[in-house]
Amino acid sequence: MKPTDRMHKTTLSIHGGHGPDPLFGGVSMPIYQSSTFAFRNAEEGAARFAGTEDGYIYTRLGNPTIRALEDCVAQLEGGHAALGTASGMAAVSTVFMAFLGAGDHMVGTAAVYGPSRTLMESEFARFGVACDFVDTSRIEEIRARLRPSSRLLFVETPANPTMAVTDLESCAALAKERGLVLAVDNTFASPILQNPLALGADVVIHSLTKFLNGHSDVVGGIIVSRSVELHKRIQKVLRLLGGTMDPHQAWLVLRGVKTLALRVEKSQENAERLARFLEAHPKVAWIKYPGLESHPQHGLAARQMKGPGSLLSFGLKGGFEAGRRMINSVRLCTLAVSLGGIESLIQHPASMTHAGVPAEERREAGITDDLIRLSVGCEALEDLQADLELGLATA
């Protein structure tokens, strides 16, 4: 058993996946910025290509720096192994490609990250893959859309950007009953607050760009599998597609992961206070945050997650125009897409991240035109609240 197997997530985020460099004793994992690796002899090269000997061949196939990050995140998620990818969308597309083919069908969360849905509806559809996007927080809707050809259940929880929470244990039971692969995008919660594999999921996806890196300076993704069979299937597809990670990219994310638990704790603390402030504000029409008792799945979130996270969505009584004035008036919260960074980000999904989703489908998914998404960062709470008050005053 590895010494980190039973450690707290805060410790795992710092020590998981690697120790001091065995060659020179460096405490920080070295960046192995090499495209290819030398063999001691022809026999060793042949053994590595045959898979009978562990070792590195070519960075698209594996790299020590990338491997350290993969091992760290696999431990955080409690999975068998992980695969780093060039972006979050590279992780999504690889999972789709690994488990879906012509004639197959997928059911997914309607309020999912916009490009994930667009990829399936506009690109995979060209190759004969069918899909239905539903409110996965209602298990009966998933069951109603399943077909004999269904192969993959793709869930994002909490959902982007509606903050709806899906019952992962119920989804896992349904997937097992129908022989489906259950893949969960766990980006919004991070491994600190939610572990889908422990709830029965088969595959977990993260955009490393978000909480795991946490500093808005790296784009990356990762796929964690619960078994060796699933890992090998996805690994084969990823290596052939070529959407693999770069060593320097991996090193930066590995550095970011070391403060993951600390950042999640602080940003969540801020979000909980700001959510209650917004809920009580006379200009706010509605707010969705799993930590509020008013959230439709508040009880489920409390059971399934270790905390409500730091993302929230809300709408103003003045509708879209009031929201536009507000996000143009804030000064501390940065008007930008993405989330999970150390700084607070605010954006309008209907015209930004989900603009590629047809308007009718957005409305069906609960992504209304007045919805504002706020990713709360680690700034001082007093400054964040003052900034929101400034924005609301102009709405």
Q: According to the model, what pLDDT value does residue 5 have?
A: 61
Q: Map residue 78 onto helix, strand or coil.
A: coil
Q: For residue range 178-212, what is the model confidence (pLDDT) as tens digits?
A: 999 999 999 999 999 999 999 999 999 999 999 99
What pLDDT, in 10s, does the model give residues 258-277? 999 999 999 999 999 999 99
Q: Which of 185, 246, 370, 387 is catalytic?
A: 185
Is 210 a catalytic site residue? yes
Q: Give the integer Cα–Cα distance in Å for 187 and 172.
A: 18
Structure tokens at 391: 């924005």
- What pLDDT score does 350 carry? 81
Cα distances (Å, whole numbers) of residue 395 to 277, 330, 344: 16, 11, 20
Q: Which CATH number does 9-257 carry?
A: 3.40.640.10
**pLDDT value of residue 4:** 56
- Tell me if 9-257 shares its fold with 260-394: no
Catalytic residue status for 32: no
Regions in the chain scoring below 50 on pLDDT? 1-2
331-353 confidence digits (pLDDT tens): 999 999 999 999 999 998 888 87
- pTM recorded for the entire structure: 0.95
Question: DSSP of 248-274, one letter per residue?
Answer: HHHHHHHHHHTTHHHHHHHHHHHHHHH
Q: 228 near 79, Cβ under 8 Å?
A: no
Marked catalytic residue, from 56, 113, 263, 289: 113
Name the active-site residue from 60, 233, 273, 324: 60
Per DSSP, the three-state class of 390 is helix
Confidence (pLDDT) at 1: 34
State yes or no: is 67 an active-site residue: no
Alpha carbon distance 106, 303 (integer Å):
27
The Cα–Cα gap between 112 and 240 comes to 26
| 260-394 placed in CATH 3.30.70.360 | no
pLDDT at 356: 83
Coil/strand/helix, residue 108: strand
Query: Looking at residue 309, what is its pLDDT?
Result: 98
- Pairing mode, strands 181-185 and 345-347: unpaired
145 annotated active-site:
no
Measured CA to CA in angstroms, residue 219 lies from 20, 84, 249, 300 at distances of 26, 11, 8, 31
Which of 48, 210, 266, 373 is an active site residue? 210
The pLDDT score that the predictor gives to residue 351 is 82
**In the chain, where the domains are located:** 9-257, 260-394
Beta-bridged to residue 222, according to DSSP, are 84, 206
Select from 289, 345, 341 the least CA-distant residue to 315: 289
